[in-house]
Amino acid sequence: MDHLMLLDLMDNGIMLLDKELEICFWNQWLEFHTNLSKNDAIGKKLPELFPEIIKKNLKRKVEVSLKLKTSTFMDASVSKYLIQIPLKKITSSMFNYMQQNVIIAPYGNENVIIVIYDYTPLLEAQELLKQQAEKFEIQATIDPLTQVYNRLKFNTILDLEVQRSKRYSRDLSIIIFDIDHFKKVNDTYGHLIGDEVLKGIALLVKNTVRTTDIFARWGGEEFIILLPETLLDRAVIVAERIRKTIEEYIFPEVGTKTCSFGVTIYHNDSNETYNQFINRADTHLYSAKNSGRNRVIFGY
């Protein structure tokens, strides 16, 4: 009796079940959190009071615990909870029900003791930390205006793709382009409208390139696309498709805009650095601008 009194006062949920899942003991913690008194719980089968329980799974855990005289564990990060206990919190929570770590252990020859630990605060903290880490990752890798990769993230991927191209002799092409006469847009319509043009072009390109292509804002009105497993002639086709898509689009207030493109392929059979790779594409871009703009210039 003294032992049960001690269990009754513990700051965790504690119940005793027989092998048929009938409740033999129900402590004060469970009374408070479930709003089920001892009189309402004892003598009832747990799945009858909590229909969300998968009866056969719990019965198997109880039988195994009794047969092997060993404990089993239910992890809140996997199973969430054994029984639905609405959270009694004044502040809001990301969970509707208490997240529970649960231990099922033999208690004598005929019963098991089930201990429920409220794991909600720790899971909430873990989830908040995860969300914060994801937020920092986005801030570190995504251009806030256009929502495409920033230059830092692009360079990280470029370095990996260059190494892969050299190691496995994989084709790797690059497209660099910028908006023709973009300064006039800012000077005429203001920077807010200029920002809308940048966002519009980024969205047009995102909807044109493959999911395996790496698209980033290189700086200002300049963008860059890395095309793994792509020969130069195919990259030129992609650049021409993007050029035409942008040329035909009507931007609010501004009307039509054009872009100039430089395209090249990585020399994976040499000791070429990725800076040399980009500089060659950049040279073709300036050739496109110097020869009339709104065109694609390419070369090896």
Q: Both tokens of residue 191? A: 């920077």
Q: Do 295 and 288 form a contact (C-beta atoms < 8 A)?
A: yes
Asked if 240 is an active-site residue, the reply is no
Q: Do 289 and 211 form a contact (C-beta atoms < 8 A)?
A: no
Question: What does the buried/exposed string (b/e) look like for 154-175 if buried means 16 or more CB atoms within 10 Å of the residue's CB?
Answer: bbeebeebbeebbeeeebbbbb
Q: Do 58 and 21 form a contact (C-beta atoms < 8 A)?
A: yes
Order of strands, edge to edge, in the sheet holding 111-118? Answer: 23-26, 13-18, 111-118, 100-107, 72-74
Cα separation, 262 vs 266, whole angstroms: 13
SS3 per residue for 130-150 = HHHHHHHHHHHHECCCCCCEC
Q: Both tokens of residue 250? A: 């009507």
Report which of 246, 141, 138 is spatially closest to residue 197, judged by C-alpha positions: 246
- Out of 124, 127, 196, 221, pick the active-site residue: 221
Cα separation, 25 vs 3, whole angstroms: 12
Q: Do 78 and 84 form a contact (C-beta atoms < 8 A)?
A: no
Residue 56 vs residues 14, 92, 97, 169: alpha-carbon distances, Å: 21, 34, 22, 56
Report which of 73, 123, 61 is spatially closest to residue 98, judged by C-alpha positions: 123
Residues belonging to the active site = 221
